[in-house]
A = this chain, B = another copy of it.
């Protein structure tokens, strides 16, 4: 209740509120398609007032992209470390990624759509975090499906990311089942795709 804490919390909350709205607008109409006045209007202030909280429009995007890549990466690392065995680790990775895809739809969209709009240093950082995240997956998937070549596994991981990230692109319109049902379905589809890696070199063997 101390004024400093309250002020700090208010300021931080303000920043977060701005970031949330900016993410939504960027995802809807693209980074270049959104003006600072719109972002300001979305949080009740107007235009240049945003510059009390951020250095500029680019800085908002940078913070969003670095944030989501970092959270994906660190959450993945934690889930793998806590998992009991490779299969459980893959299960946890899939589950965690689905949570991100369903809960932070806007960020997932921005994450692979507006990366080029970043300053060089930020873009390098984001790309590095993305690469490390992919490598976490590749290591786990290779352990679960040892028969596949590494390049195949890497391509498969990217493909499964595309699969899991498909729901954000469906827009907010309904049509797909509830959240938990969607999560279960995506989980099953992802593991099914990975399972297809096993029939790579020895087709028609299990029949």
Contacts and interface: CB of A to CB of B under 8 A. Distances in A.
Given A163-B160, A192-B195, A116 B177 contact: no
A175 B154 contact: yes
Interface string A145-157: 0000001101110
A58 interface: no
Interface in A171-201: 175-177, 181-182, 185-186, 188-197, 199-200
Grouping DSSP codes into helix (H, G, I), strand (E, B) and loop, the A interface class, with mixed when no group exceeds half, is: helix
Given A116-B29, A192-B195, A195-B196, A177 B151 contact: yes
A185 B152 contact: yes
Nearest to A113: B113
Nearest to A189: B193
Interface stretch (A5-13, A15-23, A30-38, A61-69): A30-38
A162 interface: yes
Interface residues of A, number: 47
A109 to B, nearest CB: 9
A159 B151 contact: no
A161 interface: yes
B182 A155 contact: yes
A117 B193 contact: no
Nearest to A153: B185
A94 to B, nearest CB: 12
Contact of A176 (B151, B190, B193, B195): B151
Interface centre among A29, A152, A162 (most CB of B within 10 A): A162
A154 B197 CA distance: 24
Contacts of A114: 30
Given A159-B189, A192-B192, A152 B177 contact: yes
B156 A185 contact: yes
Interface centre among A29, A163, A169 (most CB of B within 10 A): A163
Interface centre among A152, A177, A186 (most CB of B within 10 A): A152
Contact of A196 (B175, B182, B191): B191
